[in-house]
Structure 1
Amino acid sequence: MDSPPPRPETTCARAAPPVRPSTAPLVPPPHLSVVYRFEGIDHVDDVYAGRDDGFVYARDGHPNAAALADRIAALEAADAAAVFASGMAATAAVLLAETNAGDHVAFAEQLYGKTISLIGRELSRFGVSSSGFDATRPESLADALRNGTRLVFVETLSNPLLRLPDLPRLADLARQAGAKLVVDHTFAPLLCRPIELGASYVVHSGTKLIGGHSDLTLGLVAGSKGDIARLSSVSSTFGLSGNPFESWLATRGLATLPLRSARAGETARDLAVRLSRSGRVRAVHYPGLPEHPDHDRARSLLSGGFGAMITVDLGDRARADAFIRGLRHVPFAPSLGDVATTLSHPSSTSHRGQDPELLDRLGITPGLVRLSIGLEDADDLWADFDRALAFVE
C-alpha cells in the first residue's frame, strides 16, 4: 500500500535521499557528515574489522582526511599518513603514541617554542623526561641520548634562524640508540624527503605552506603503516582529528604547492641577496646565501630551492619595531606560508615565554624579524622593504 505523504515537519527533518547521477564530479566534494549509515549490525562489524571499506564517525576518519592522507604519504614517500586538528595536535599525537612514563625525548633546542613547551613542560607531568641538544652538532645529540630515549625531535629548517641539521647523521645516531627520528618539515615541504634520509616520522603544520592561504588549521604526520595506525587510535581517543572541510581545503591547496613553493623560493633567494647587500641590517639568515653556516649542507640535502623564509636581524627591538611599522604592504601576522608575504617577530610570538638564556644562546634576539615570502613580484616587495629600512634609519 502507498504510504501517505509525510507532513512538513517530517519532510524538513529527514535527510534527502542521495543523488546518484551517472556522472562523477570532477572535483571531489567535502563530506561534512559527522556520522555514516549502516545496513545492519553485520555491516558495522565488517567495517570495524576492516573487511569492508567505510567510515563510522568523523573523529575516527572521513573521506576528506583519507584523500589528503593518501596524497601526503605519496608526497613524503611514506607508507601512510594521518590528519590532525593542528600542527601541535600532530606533534602531540606522536609524543602520546610513542612515550610512556620513564621514557626520554631528545629535542633540538632550535625547535618551535610551543613544541619545546610541550616536550619540556607538559610531558614531564606524565613522567617523560627530556633534554635539548644542538641539532647542527650531531655530537651534542650523542651526549643527550639516554637508555630510555624513544624519540629524537628536530626541524628540517629551524624556526627562526633556518638552521639545517645533518638529518642522515642524526637518524643514524637515533637508530643506534633504539630511538625514532621525528622531523618537523613545516618550513620545507618538497625540498627534501626526511623519511628517505632516515626519519621515522614527518610532521607538518598543514596550516602553513601546504594549505597555503591562511584559511585552515590542520596537522599531518607521515610514517609507517603500523606507526600511523597507532597514531590514528591515539587521535580518536584524545580527540585530535582534523575536520572534513579543512581537510578538503588542504587537498585543494596541495594542488598548487609545487608552483607556490618554486615561485616563493625563487623570490626569497632574490630578496635575501638584496637584503644582505643593503648594508642596513645586522644579518640575513637564509640557507641559500653562501655565508649561511649550513649553506653547503643545504645544497647537498635540499632540492628545488632553499625555502620561502628569510630572517633578518635589525639589531634591537626598537629597530625591528620601526621596520615593521615602516612597511606599507607586508602585514605583521605571526604565521607563514600564505600566498601573500607576511612578517613575524619571533621573540614576541613563536618563542614568547621561552627561557631567555636559551634564546640568547641560540641567537633569537628581539631584533629578529622573520619574513614568509609569498607570490608577489620581487621588485614590489623590495620597494616596501627598502622604504621600511629607510624608515628605520
Structure 2
Amino acid sequence: MAAVVASDLVTPLKRPFPNDGLGDENNNNNNGGATPDEKQAPRAVARRRDADPAAALAAARHEFGEHGGVNMSIEASATFTMAALEGTEAAYCTASGMSAISAVLMQLVGAGGHVVASRCLYGGTHALLSRFLPRVSGVTATFVDADDEAAVRAAVRPGVTRVVYVETVSNPTLAVADVPMLARVAHEAGAKLVVDNTFTPVVVSPARLGADVVVHSVSKFVSGGADIIAGAICGPASLVNAMMDLQDGALMLLGPTMNAKVAFELSERLPHLPLRMQEHSRRALAFATRMQGLGLRVAYPGLPDHPHHARLGAMGNPGYGFGGMLCVDMGTEDRANRLMHHLQNTTQFGLMAVSLGYYETLMSCSGSSTSSEMPPEDRARAGISPGLVRMSVGYNGTLEQRWAQFERALALMQPPQHHPKAAADRDADTAGNNHRKH
C-alpha cells in the first residue's frame, strides 16, 4: 500500500480580501475589489460586504482536477485548508471536532496552565476542561458566566491564563458570546480567545471580531449530511505551523489528521453551505415565532425578546439570519421525551438524535444526552433545564407541512378530556420509548 505523505508545513493562505477589518487601516487596497461606486460607501458597510463567507469561499483558489474534470482530484495528502470560510490565514482539518478542540488547548495552554471558559459548553468540552486535562497535564479551568465582563476579568490570572474559551452560540442554551468584549479581555491579559463556531458557520465569523482561533465540529452544519465525523482549526499560520512541529506540535504528535477522502467529500459540500445556513435560519425563525405564539418557552436568538438578539444581529454576517438551532423547554424530562416521541413516531416531524445540521430536524433532550457529562449542579448553573429540547431545524418538506406535524404532536401532549381511554393508551405506548443518549 502506498504511503501517505504529509507536507512539512501548512502554506499560509492569502486573506480572501485585502481588508477584513483586522489589518492595517492604511492599506491601499482597503476596498477589497469594490467598484468605483462602491468605494464611496461607508467603510463599515464595505467591510461587512467584503467579509461575506460565501464570497470568500468563491474567491478561494479553484482549479480543474488532474485530468481536466470540474471537480478536484483526491490527493493523497494529509494537509488540507478551510481558512477561507473563517477569514483566517490558515486552517487544519482534523478527524473530529473534539480532536480539534483538544489539540488547540493542549498546544496553547501547556502543563499547569489556566483556562477561563464559559460555564455553558458542549458536554465533551466541559469534561475535557474540568476532568481530563487537569488529570493528565495539571491544567486548571475556571467556568464563568461569559456574558459577565466583570466575572471574566476576575477569573483571568495574568501570566497564568493562556486561553479564554467560549462557543459563539452556547450548546444548548443558545446564549450568544460577546466576542469583541471577550477578545479585549483576553488580549489585555496576554491570553488567546478560542471560539467554537460549530453552531454558526457562515452566520458569524469570530476571527473578524477578534478571536485568535476558531474551531469547528465539521460533522455538523458544515457537512450537512450526518454522515461524516470531522473537525477544523482556523487561525494564524504561525499557530498551525507550530502545531505541526515535528518535536512539539500537537497535530503532528497526536495525529488527528482528516482522511483525504473525507476532505474531498467536504470540499463538494462547502459551496452550498451558505444556502443551507440561510434556509436553516429561515425555518428556525418561523418555527420559534410560531412556538412562542402558542405559549411555549422558546429560546432562539432570532426572537426579539432573546437577551442577545441585538448582539447576534450586530456580530452576524448580513443575510444569513440567526442560525438553525432553537430550544423548547418542556419543564421535565418526561414531558420532553413524550413530545419528541410524538414528533418522531406519530407525526414524523423529525428524528431523535444528538447531532445537528442535518436536512431533517434533529431533536435531543440535552440534559440526558449532549450535556450528560456535566454534573447536575453544573447543568443547573449553566441554565440547562431537565426538560430542555434542543432542535436543529431542518429544511426538507414544506414549512407548513412541518408546522402542521408539530402542532399535531403538541396536541397529543394535551389529550381531549372526553377521550380518557385513548389518552391512557397513548401514554402507555409512550412509556417504554423515552429518549436516552445514543
Q: Which residue of 116, 130, 133 maps to 2:126?
A: 116
Q: Which runs of 5+ in 1 are unaligned?
A: 1-12, 16-20, 34-54, 56-60
Quickly say closer, same or farther: Cα 1:132–1:22, change in 2 above 3 A: closer
1:183-221 per-position Cα deviation (integer Å, ceiling 9, x unaligned): 000001111211111110000100000011111110001
CA shift for structure 1 position 22 = 8.9
Aligned residues, how many? 340
Q: Which residue of 72, 80, 85 maps to 1:28?
A: 72
Pairwise CA RMSD of aligned residues? 1.7
Q: Residue 395 of structure 2 corresponds to which residue in structure 1? A: 375
The question of 1:139 aligning with 2:160 is answered: no
Equivalent pair of 1:344/1:371 in contact (CA under 8 Å)? yes
CA shift for structure 1 position 361 = 2.1
Q: Report runs of 4+ in structure 1 exceeding 6 Å deviation.
A: none
Equivalent AA in structure 2 for residue 25 of structure 1: G
CA shift for structure 1 position 309 = 0.4
Equivalent pair of 1:101/1:128 in contact (CA under 8 Å)? yes
Q: Which residue of 259, 274, 285 maps to 2:299?
A: 285
The question of 1:162 aligning with 2:193 is answered: no
CA shift for structure 1 position 293 = 1.1
Equivalent pair of 1:137/1:165 in contact (CA under 8 Å)? no
The alignment partner of 1:291 has SS state of: coil
Structure 2 distance, partners of 1:314, 1:391, is: 14
The alignment partner of 2:193 has SS state of: strand
Q: Residue 253 of structure 1 corresponds to which residue in structure 2? A: 269
Q: Residue 380 of structure 2 corresponds to which residue in structure 1? A: 360
The question of 1:345 aligning with 2:362 is answered: no
The alignment partner of 1:26 has SS state of: coil
Q: Residue 201 of structure 2 corresponds to which residue in structure 1? A: 189
Q: Residue 211 of structure 1 corresponds to which residue in structure 2? A: 223
Q: Residue 312 of structure 2 corresponds to which residue in structure 1? A: 298
Equivalent pair of 1:108/1:132 in contact (CA under 8 Å)? yes
CA shift for structure 1 position 236 = 2.3
Structure 2 distance, partners of 1:94, 1:22, is: 34
- Counterparts of 1:1-393 in structure 2 under 5 Å? 23-31=67-75, 33=76, 61-62=78-79, 66=80, 69=81, 72-125=82-135, 126-147=137-158, 148-232=160-244, 233-279=249-295, 281=296, 283-303=297-317, 304-327=320-343, 328-329=347-348, 330-376=350-396, 377-393=398-414
Structure 1 distance, partners of 2:254, 2:373, is: 26
CA shift for structure 1 position 171 = 0.3
Structure 2 distance, partners of 1:219, 1:122, is: 20
Q: Residue 14 of structure 2 corresponds to which residue in structure 1? A: none
CA shift for structure 1 position 23 = 4.5
Q: Which runs of 5+ in 2 are unaligned?
A: 4-64, 415-438
User: Share of identical aligned residues, percent?
Assistant: 38
CA shift for structure 1 position 172 = 0.3
CA shift for structure 1 position 14 = 10
Equivalent pair of 1:108/1:133 in contact (CA under 8 Å)? yes
The alignment partner of 1:255 has SS state of: helix
CA shift for structure 1 position 79 = 0.4
The alignment partner of 2:289 has SS state of: helix
Equivalent pair of 1:213/1:253 in contact (CA under 8 Å)? no
What is the TM-score when the length of structure 2 is the normalising length? 0.75
Equivalent pair of 1:83/1:218 in contact (CA under 8 Å)? yes
Equivalent pair of 1:322/1:388 in contact (CA under 8 Å)? no
